[in-house]
Amino acid sequence: MATVTIEATAHQADVCAVNIGPKQRRMREIFGSVTLALSVGLTVALSAWDVSWPWRLATFLPFYVGVIGLLQARKKT
């Protein structure tokens, strides 16, 4: 049975990883930052008003979406 060896250089990996342009990265940065700031603000407000934990837990989704947007912009994917 033949063995196949795949070798990739760092340059090839960088070229293949980038799949969005500067405009889309900027949009993801803005969206991620705004969503993250709103979710943190909402979590702080709900905690200050002593709202029950299921409502505070619901802020996880916008927090997650904001972080994903920022990570995508950073990694250019």
Domain coverage including residue 59 = 11-75
With H, G, I as helix, E, B as strand and everything else as coil, classify residue 54. helix
- Residue 77: the pLDDT is 82
DSSP character at residue 34: H
Domain count, the chain: 1
- Residues in the chain, total: 77
- Residue 7: the pLDDT is 60
Please indicate, yes or no, if residue 18 is contained in any of the structural domains: yes
pTM of the model: 0.71
Please indicate, yes or no, if residue 46 is contained in any of the structural domains: yes
Please indicate, yes or no, if residue 1 is contained in any of the structural domains: no
- Residue 57: the pLDDT is 92
Read off the pLDDT of residues 6-65 as tens digits, 9 standing for 90 and up.
Answer: 665 555 555 555 778 899 999 999 999 999 999 999 999 999 999 999 999 999 999 999
Please indicate, yes or no, if residue 5 is contained in any of the structural domains: no
CA angle 7, 11, 17 (to 5 degrees): 95
